[in-house]
Amino acid sequence: MANTMNKQARKVYEDGEGGIHRLPDECLAKAIGLTSPADACRAAAVSAAFQSAADSDAVWERFLPPDCHAVLERAVHLVDASFKKELFMDLCDEHVLLDDGKMVCQLYIHHFCCLIS
């Protein structure tokens, strides 16, 4: 009997009919958004369903600071990205000049670190 159960469980897993893959993308995105940017990138490598959820704007919006748009409105140069993940990565990699170049900011997880010149 146990052998039959294992075969059935394996078939359900292999067919993708069971487990976490049955959850809607929104649920996966919510769970992944509660982790970290590094964990979201790792989750994207698990499966197509995880990649879709992990790359969603809903996940990456949670990693951006709440005042992100207000800060970017003060940027000397337009900071433009099609997706929240792209915006997050760009802001982590590059400094942003604000207030006519009087201040420089860079994104760290969930907050900006700014220096006044």
Q: Is the pLDDT of residue 54 over 80?
A: yes
Q: Is the pLDDT of residue 16 over 70?
A: no
- The arithmetic mean of pLDDT across residues 67-81, rounded, is 92
Sign of CA dihedral 72, 102, 90, 60: negative
Percentage of residues in the chain having pLDDT higher than 90: 59
Percentage of residues in the chain having pLDDT higher than 70: 84
Residue 21 binned pLDDT confidence (cut-offs 50, 70, 90): confident
In the chain, % helix, strand, coil (3-state, to 5) comes to 55, 15, 30
Q: Are the CB atoms for 99 and 74 separated by under 8 Å?
A: yes
- The arithmetic mean of pLDDT across residues 65-87, rounded, is 93
Give the whole-angstrom CA distance, residue 7 versus residue 48.
24
Q: Is the pLDDT of residue 58 over 60?
A: yes
- The arithmetic mean of pLDDT across residues 44-59, rounded, is 93
| Three state DSSP letters for 80-117 | CCCCHHHHHHHHHHCCEEEHHHCEEEEEECCEEEEEEC
